[in-house]
A = this chain, B = another copy of it.
Amino acid sequence: MPQSAVSIDLERLKTLLEGVNRFGYDASTGGYNRPGFSDEDVKVRDWFAGQMVSDGLSVRRDAVLNLFGRYGPADGPCIMVGSHLDTVVKGGAWDGALGACVALECVRSMQHAGIEPTTAIEVVATSEEEGRFGGMLGSQTITGTVTPDWVSRACDADGVMLSDAMTAQGLDPDRIADAAWPADSVAAFLELHIEQGPVLEKSSVPIGIADEVSGVCYLEVELSGTANHSGTTPMDLRSDAFAGLAELSVAIPEVIADKGTEQSRITIGNVSLLPNHPHTIPGKAVFSIILRDICENHMRALREELERRAADIASRHGLDLHIDERSWLSPVKLDGAIADRLERLAASHGLPAIRMSSGAGHDAQTMQAFCPSGLIFVPSRGGISHAPEEHSDWADIEKAANLYLHALIEMSA
């Protein structure tokens, strides 16, 4: 059988994903709970390690429980393939787990077809990608971008320190820095992930080739007015913090039309009013604005336009305005040569695919600063993720996994 006719074993892949998802399943919600460094997160890695050992891979874990299984030459740079095994709380069955399973299935398919790689393949199941302690800890550990200062301060939403969560699992947080891979030890990184958005589904295309990842700006905005009686205060004598927030929200489409692109996303997701009482005009509104674009200049322009409009609205409503930039992550261009290779292979194998950007963050963007990286998406039904309703169709997954397999065969040859 020519290498171009090799394909993945869909039933074997399904069985592998089912195996992963026996860990952390919560029947009461239908969701999966494998947050980073939870017991279920540790257990699923032991089970996945066992799978790779059975496959004859050389299996190791590092200081943060990144799990590696090497196929091919023991020495020299590798092609690293995989995704994360941790989930958010009440997450779906596909996010991360699918990418780790597809990577191992591709190695299994190569083994089954008798294809020995010239360049070693490292299947990786990364750690704490989802953000219990900030996210992408696994890929940041591999790329050596985790600082001891950050490690000593990181804690989850319940106030549990990262160092305590690691120690409770028998891990030593002081060893994180030593777990970085040497320069040039990874020739390329390839990840498959669910899209977590509706673009592929709406386009009826089974494969997305992500060539860039949006930057993210997180603004916390506070509008302060006067919390007066809803009955006694005439409409024209109010300083209603919520009315100001609402006006800013309604302006978002105009802000994007004026200063953004089709890739711009601006979201107000968290809103807290004070006193938040039905009969009292809101005296204060504290809310988040998440701003994303694939172009940093557009991000800056969008931010400036939002600030300009917020100041104008605050002035007209008699509100005080305070904007705090909580974080700014620049957009990342993934490796163009890998994206081109994926596009060419998709075309030559008759696999429908489109180039697209990623609105969500992934290990691939962390890895891109370290080695050429590529990212393949499969459609998410209804664009839903981080919820029990998360779903991807096996027919789509099979196509995307075969593209992944062909790329891996070619890159490791």
Q: Which residues of A contact B (CB under 8 A)?
A: 195-199, 202, 214, 216, 218, 226-235, 237, 240, 242-243, 245-247, 249-250, 252-253, 256, 262, 264-271, 273, 276-282, 288, 290, 292, 358-361, 380, 382-387
Known contacts A245-B246, A278-B218; decide if A197 and B232 are in contact (CB<8 Å): yes
Q: Inside 8 A of A276's CB, which chain B residues have their CB?
A: 269-271
Contact for A232 among B196, B240, B262, CB less than 8 A = B196
CB pair B265–A231 under 8 Å, yes or no, is yes
Question: A382 CA to B237 CA in the complex, in Å?
Answer: 10
| Interchain nearest-CB distance for A356 vs B (Å) | 10
Q: Inside 8 A of A384's CB, which chain B residues have their CB?
A: 226, 228
| Interchain nearest-CB distance for A364 vs B (Å) | 14
Q: Inside 8 A of A246's CB, which chain B residues have their CB?
A: 245-247, 249-250, 268
Query: Which residue on B lies nearest to A198, using beta carbons?
Result: B237
Question: A145 CA to B276 CA in the complex, in Å?
Answer: 31
Known contacts A243-B249, A273-B271; decide if A232 and B288 are in contact (CB<8 Å): no
Q: Inside 8 A of A273's CB, which chain B residues have their CB?
A: 269-271
Q: Inside 8 A of A385's CB, which chain B residues have their CB?
A: 228-229, 232
Question: A218 CA to B229 CA in the complex, in Å?
Answer: 14
| Interchain nearest-CB distance for A347 vs B (Å) | 25
CB pair A290–B230 under 8 Å, yes or no, is yes
Q: Inside 8 A of A281's CB, which chain B residues have their CB?
A: 267, 269
Question: A13 CA to B216 CA in the complex, in Å?
Answer: 61
CB pair A265–B202 under 8 Å, yes or no, is no
| Interchain nearest-CB distance for A279 vs B (Å) | 6
Q: Inside 8 A of A359's CB, which chain B residues have their CB?
A: 229-233
Known contacts A232-B383, A242-B271, A383-B233; decide if A278 and B250 are in contact (CB<8 Å): no
Contact for A234 among B198, B245, B250, B252, CB less than 8 A = B198
Known contacts A202-B237, A267-B279, A271-B271; decide if A242 and B232 are in contact (CB<8 Å): no
CB pair B197–A230 under 8 Å, yes or no, is no
CB pair A269–B277 under 8 Å, yes or no, is yes
Contact for A231 among B253, B277, B360, B382, CB less than 8 A = B360
Q: Inside 8 A of A230's CB, which chain B residues have their CB?
A: 265, 267, 269, 290, 292, 359
CB pair A195–B232 under 8 Å, yes or no, is yes
Instruction: Show 28 residue pairs from A and B whose CB-CB distance is below 8 angstroms, ordered by the A residue.
Output: A196-B232, A197-B234, A198-B234, A198-B237, A199-B232, A202-B237, A226-B384, A229-B360, A229-B385, A230-B267, A230-B290, A231-B292, A231-B359, A232-B358, A232-B360, A233-B359, A233-B383, A235-B264, A237-B383, A242-B249, A242-B268, A246-B246, A267-B279, A269-B281, A269-B282, A270-B277, A270-B278, A271-B273
Q: Inside 8 A of A277's CB, which chain B residues have their CB?
A: 269-270
Question: A209 CA to B87 CA in the complex, in Å?
Answer: 64
